[in-house]
């Protein structure tokens, strides 16, 4: 496999209302876009990307919500990976950094989303934006894949 970072071959960007309905729609459209790119519904890659989108979109709608502001989903298809970015308008509330995510107590009903993202994604992180933040994750299409060039 070539160690050079690959260039994106497909790009999908859409804004959604920062609500549970918006998060659900983001997940559904991501799954449809993957299928359009030839990554079939129900495949391991589709399921992994859909789960990451669901968790990041739910976090954007729950923790990153600013009244009157949307969140944005961006998917980039590279030859070996899919990059997922979810941007919201709330910059002052930062998630823990990769590797610093701590599991909540067993009796807690929430707080495990980034643990799932950390387990599924080959890499993930947080980027600042002029307004808000962007949480990104990359899911491998091919084991041992390198990331997308120009995505950071």
State residue 56's pLDDT score: 95
Fold observed for domain 10-140: Heat Shock Protein 90 (3.30.565)
Domain ranges of the chain: 10-140
Phi/psi-derived region of residue 118, left when phi > 0, alpha when psi is between -120 and 50, beta in every other case: alpha
In this predicted structure, the answer to whether residue 21 has a pLDDT above a threshold of 90 is: yes
Work out the mean pLDDT of the chain and round it to a whole number: 84
Confidence label for 3 from pLDDT (cuts 50, 70 and 90): very low
Mean pLDDT along residues 134-146: 84
Confidence label for 6 from pLDDT (cuts 50, 70 and 90): low
Q: Which two tokens stand for residue 128?
A: 């600042």
Residues 38-96 have pLDDT tens digits of 999 999 999 999 999 999 999 999 877 777 789 999 999 998 999 999 999 876 666 76
């Amino acid at each position: 496999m070539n160690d050079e970072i690959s260039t994106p071959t497909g790009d999908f960007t859409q804004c959604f209302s920062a609500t549970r309905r918006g998060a659900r729609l983001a997940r559904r459209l991501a799954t449809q876009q993957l299928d359009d790119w030839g990554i079939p519904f129900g495949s391991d890659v589709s399921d992994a990307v859909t789960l990451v989108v669901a968790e990041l979109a739910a976090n954007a709608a729950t923790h990153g919500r600013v009244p009157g502001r949307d969140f944005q989903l961006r998917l980039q298809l590279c030859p070996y990976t899919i990059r997922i970015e979810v941007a919201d308008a709330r910059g002052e509330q930062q998630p823990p950094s990769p590797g610093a995510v701590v599991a909540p107590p067993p009796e807690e009903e929430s707080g495990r989303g980034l643990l799932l993202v950390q387990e599924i994604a080959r890499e993930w992180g947080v980027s600042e934006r002029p307004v808000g933040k962007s949480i990104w994750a990359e899911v491998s299409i091919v084991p041992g894949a390198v990331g997308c060039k120009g995505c950071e």
